[in-house]
Chains A and B, each alone.
Chain A
Amino acid sequence: MKRTLLSVSIVVAAAICAPAQTIKVPESWDKLAAKADDVVNVSLDKKMLQFASKFMAGEDENEKHLVSKLNGIYVHSLEFKNEGEFTESDVDPIRTQLQGPEWIHIVDVHNKTERENVVIYLKMVNNQSLGMAILVEEPKELTFVHLDGPISPGDLSDLSGSFGIPKNLHVSEKETSKPKAEIKK
């Protein structure tokens, strides 16, 4: 795979113009990035999202609606050539930050055969969704997504057909209020 590195200059603007991202990616990820074949770092705060939305005239209305609601989108993805390039110690600092009472697991899949861990968190405050985090560990890939803002699973289902977001990944308000609804193999 051709090594690509997406450096996002927008990060600088975001860092200056808006509060820092609430969930910090550990510094060890920088070292991992040096070993990775493919690195994606996207950090867009509210201002940048508003700015980008002005140029999304041709995009789907649901996508634009979703972007307009969010306070920030932060995506960090590392893809390696070989397996076992990262360890749990690289992921634990993120898990630690998502252990607060406001964060609940809506999906938590651990597949030992495939050696995959997929965890989706929802930030709930006063029964309102204020964010979503996705942490995916695959043998050659490590991904963390943080959507900051009043996003609900319903918003994601509206994006069905776009970006491959599944329509039936639907969690009721009742379910989401329960902490750590886990499905483990």
Chain B
Amino acid sequence: MDHRQEDQFEYQLKSALHRQEPPNGFTVRVLARLEPARPEPWPQPWLHLPSLRWALACALGIAVFAGGWMFQQERRRAEGEAARQQVMLALRITGAKMQLAEARVRHLSER
């Protein structure tokens, strides 16, 4: 095989191995597989505004503070209610025993 034939063979090889386009719709199919694989982040352009970020941070801080205050209030209310119930129980027992004493005294007086 001479050089001319060699060049001809390589030329044919190059032609045979030229780039080929994939079947139609290839890009669409790639993108379709891309979507579930990597969901796009939500567009939040407004978050890039410093003032809005500060406002959001402040609102969050206030919400946390208010939540904490409400939690403390609720806990205080629950403790107060428990204390009130203890007082009422103590007075009820006191009353019952006083009533018992009165009944005994009355019984003796009547005799």
Contact = CB atoms under 8 A, between A and B. Distances in A.
Interface of A: 6, 8-10, 40, 42, 44, 48-49, 51-56, 59, 63, 66-67, 73-75, 77, 107, 109, 111, 116, 118, 120, 134, 136, 143, 145, 147, 156, 159, 162-166, 168-169, 183, 185
A65 B91 CA distance: 13
Task: Name A's interface SS.
Answer: mixed
B86 interface: yes
B108 interface: yes
Task: Name B's interface SS.
Answer: helix
Contact of B94 (A107, A116, A165): A165
Interface residues of B toward A: which range? 20 to 34
B102 A143 contact: no
Contacts of B77: 55
Given A73-B87, A183-B108, 6 more contacts: A42-B89, A52-B86, A134-B98, A143-B97, A159-B95, A164-B99
A162 B88 CA distance: 10
Nearest to B92: A163
A45 B21 CA distance: 90
Contact of A136 (B79, B90, B97, B102): B97
Interface in B50-91: 77, 79-84, 86-91
